[in-house]
Amino acid sequence: MIKEKAKRKKYPIGRMLRDIYSRDEEFASMAVKSRLLFLMLIPHFDSHGKFQGGPNVIKGLVLPFMDDYDTETIEKCLLEINEKTNLKWFKHEGLMYLQFLDWNEHQELREDRLGADRLPTYPGITEYKENELKDKKYKLLREHSGSNPGVLPREVEVEVEVEVEVEVEVEVEVEVQEDNKLKSTSDLSNSSNSEVEEEAKHNSKCEECGEKPAKTDKGLCLFCHAKEYGYESPTEIDGEPTPST
């Protein structure tokens, strides 16, 4: 006669409990009942660090013979655990669940034996992982900074120095452009002054007769200039007035 074995759901028979909680100040600050509940819950989590979080479920599966834990006490303990540890208590579609955010860091589990992940995921898990990644990068940075914690690595310092040199080059270029602009303005001003002087000289009247335009360095017109040398009218021969014949 072949006996059929009754099929039943497999629950984990135990989990790793590391000694980190002995040195965890937040864990030590919790109430005694909260600490005990936290430790009692660990063997019941699935391979993904999740478990049903209803107070009645926890009472029936985790604390069936502990009369000093009623559902109200369990709820108060879960609120404190949620606040002070990485074990989060959350609601999904009207039901309560628990999830360890750093479960894989404390349990040695094979990826091919994790099984299906059937329970919902804590909604803040993505933000938690991003913050954890930032913390790891910061710790790595401190480890590579030698005897001066917080000092940036040499590679980063070199990059900063290059950026400063680029800024200096830009400043020099701007100064050269400003000098060229000032020089252009000065040349334009000098040119304008020369034109004004030439125009004034061209429009000046003879100092002798006061009628004809002055043409000589002495401020005389050509006629008055010729009379000064004894000529009746001006003629131009090699730039000097000559008497008319």
Give the DSSP per-residue string, 129-198: HHHHHHHHHHHHHHHTTTTSTTPPPHHHHHHHHHHHHHHHHHHHHHHHHHHHHHHHHHHHHHHHHHHHHH
pLDDT number for residue 67? 96
pLDDT less than 70: residues of the chain: 1-18, 106-110, 112, 132-203, 214, 232, 234-245
- CA gap 126, 142 in Å, rounded: 25
Would you state the pLDDT for residue 212?
Answer: 73
What's the confidence (pLDDT) of residue 175?
57
- CA–CA dist 76, 233 (Å, integer): 126
pTM, 2 dp = 0.49
pLDDT for residue 77? 98
